[in-house]
Amino acid sequence: MLKGGAVWALGTMSGTSLDGVDAAMILTDGERILEFGPSAFRAYSAGEQAVLRAALGRWPGEDGVAEAAEVVETAHAELLSRFTGAGIIGFHGQTLAHDPKGRGTHQAGDGALLARVLGLPVVWDFRSTDIAMGGQGAPLAPFFHFACARHIGAAQPLAILNLGGVGNVTWIDPRQPAPESHGALLAFDTGPANAPLNDLMLARTGQPLDPEGATGMQGQVDEDRLAAFLRHPFFHRMPPKSLDRNAFHAALDIGNLGLEDAAATLAAAAAAAVARGAEHFPVPITRLLVTGGGRHNARIMAELTARMRLEAEPIEAAGLDGDMLEAQAFAYLAVRVARGLPTSGPATTGVGALVGGGKVSRPD
Task: From 97, 43, 15, select the one nearest 293 (Cα to Cα).
Answer: 15
- The confidence band for 108, taking pLDDT boundaries of 50, 70 and 90, is very high
pLDDT (mean) for 31-54: 97
Rounded-to-integer distance, Cα 241 and Cα 271, Å: 17
- Dihedral sign for Cα 322, 131, 243, 274, please: negative
- Would you say residue 1 has pLDDT above 70? no
What number is the average pLDDT over the span 167-171? 95
Per-residue model confidence (pLDDT) at position 17: 74
* Bridge partners (DSSP) listed for residue 33: 28
- Parallel, antiparallel, or unpaired for β 288-291 and 158-163? parallel
Which residue has better confidence, 4 or 226?
A: 226
Biggest CA–CA distance in the chain, Å, is 59
Residue pair 79/40 in contact (Cβ under 8 Å)? The answer is yes
Whose CA is closest to 80, among 357, 334, 314? Answer: 334
pLDDT at site 73: 98
pLDDT at 286: 96
Could you read off the pLDDT of 296-314 as tens digits, one per residue? 999 999 999 999 999 999 9
User: What percent of the chain is modeled with pLDDT above 90?
Assistant: 88
pLDDT higher than 90, residue 184:
yes
Gap between the Cα atoms of 210 and 202, Å rounded: 9
Q: What domains can you pick out in the chain, each with its CATH number?
A: 7-138+324-361 (3.30.420.40), 153-318 (3.30.420.40)
Nearest-angstrom CA–CA distance, 138 and 227: 26
166-172/158-163 β-pairing: antiparallel
**Residue type (1 letter), 354:** L
Burial pattern 177-197, b for ≥16 Cβ within 10 A else e, equals eebbeeebbbbbbbbbbbbbb
pLDDT given at position 249: 74
pLDDT band at 138 (very low <50, low <70, confident <90, very high): confident
With a CB cutoff of 8 Å and minimum separation 6, the contacts of 279 are none
Q: What is the pLDDT of residues 77-102, one digit of tens each?
A: 999 999 999 999 999 999 999 888 89
User: Which residue in 208, 195, 203, 207 sits closest to 165, CA to CA?
Assistant: 195
Identify whether the C-beta of residue 166 lies closer than 8 Å to the C-beta of residue 56: no
pLDDT computed for residue 253 by the predictor: 85
Average pLDDT, the chain: 95
